[in-house]
């Protein structure tokens, strides 16, 4: 990720924050439309799940200028998601739902450059999470 990518992700997410509840609803609606098989993985209150999603995104996005600082939290989250039944293949549909949500929420502000920056950020972090998830599922997780 370039510094410009990070700035684009952070500035565009700032524009999403005022509509974060709607954005979370859009995200989960889209996720369940394109991957109905993941819906049973969500057993709790979806409004609370949406709040957690937006809070987690905020933490990650604020940490993009120092990715090594957010890697341990991303890895721990991936391992935690294993317990819910999340599979490495699910990360692709989550990324697609996220990009679609951003496009809906940002409208014309979701430029091709902004899409590319978000794709880079998501690819970077989902790669970290998939690796941690796979290590955990294979029983090769190392503790610090």
pLDDT digits (tens, 9 = 90+) for 2-49: 999 999 999 999 999 999 999 999 999 999 999 999 999 998 899 999
DSSP 8-state class, residue 41: G
Q: What is the pLDDT of residue 141?
A: 54
Q: What is the pLDDT of residue 28?
A: 97
DSSP 8-state class, residue 141: P
> Quick check: is 41 in a domain?
yes
Query: What CATH number does the domain containing 107 carry?
Result: 1.10.490.10
pLDDT at 144 > cutoff 70? no
- The domain total for the chain is 1
Digit-coded pLDDT (tens) for 78-131 = 989 988 888 888 999 999 999 999 999 999 999 999 999 999 999 999 999 999
> Quick check: is 143 in a domain?
no
- Between the alpha carbon of residue 105 and those of residues 11, 81, 114, the distances in Å are 13, 26, 13
Check the CA dihedral 140-42-105-11 and report its sign: negative
> Quick check: is 19 in a domain?
yes
pLDDT band at 136 (very low <50, low <70, confident <90, very high): confident
Residue 63 CA to residue 69 CA, distance in Å, equals: 7
Query: Is the backbone of residue 133 left (phi > 0), alpha (psi -120 to 50) or beta?
Result: alpha
* Nearest alpha-carbon partner for 124 in 84, 95, 102: 95
pLDDT band at 51 (very low <50, low <70, confident <90, very high): very high
> Quick check: is 142 in a domain?
no
Q: Mean pLDDT check: name the lowest of 25-29, 59-63, 102-106, 137-141.
A: 137-141
């Amino acid at each position: 990720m370039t510094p410009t990518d990070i700035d684009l992700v952070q500035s565009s997410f700032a524009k999403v924050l005022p509509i974060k509840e709607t954005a979370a609803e859009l995200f989960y609606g889209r996720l369940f439309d394109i991957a109905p098989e993941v819906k049973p993985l969500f057993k709790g209150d979806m409004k609370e799940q949406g709040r957690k999603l937006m809070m987690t995104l905020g933490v990650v996005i604020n940490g993009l200028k120092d990715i090594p600082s957010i890697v341990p939290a991303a890895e721990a989250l991936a391992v935690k998601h294993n317990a819910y039944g999340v599979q490495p293949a699910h990360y692709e549909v989550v990324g697609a739902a996220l990009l679609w949500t951003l496009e809906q929420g940002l409208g014309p502000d979701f430029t091709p450059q902004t899409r590319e920056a978000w794709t880079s950020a998501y690819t970077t972090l989902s790669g970290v999470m998939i690796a941690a998830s796979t290590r955990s599922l294979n029983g090769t997780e190392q503790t610090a």
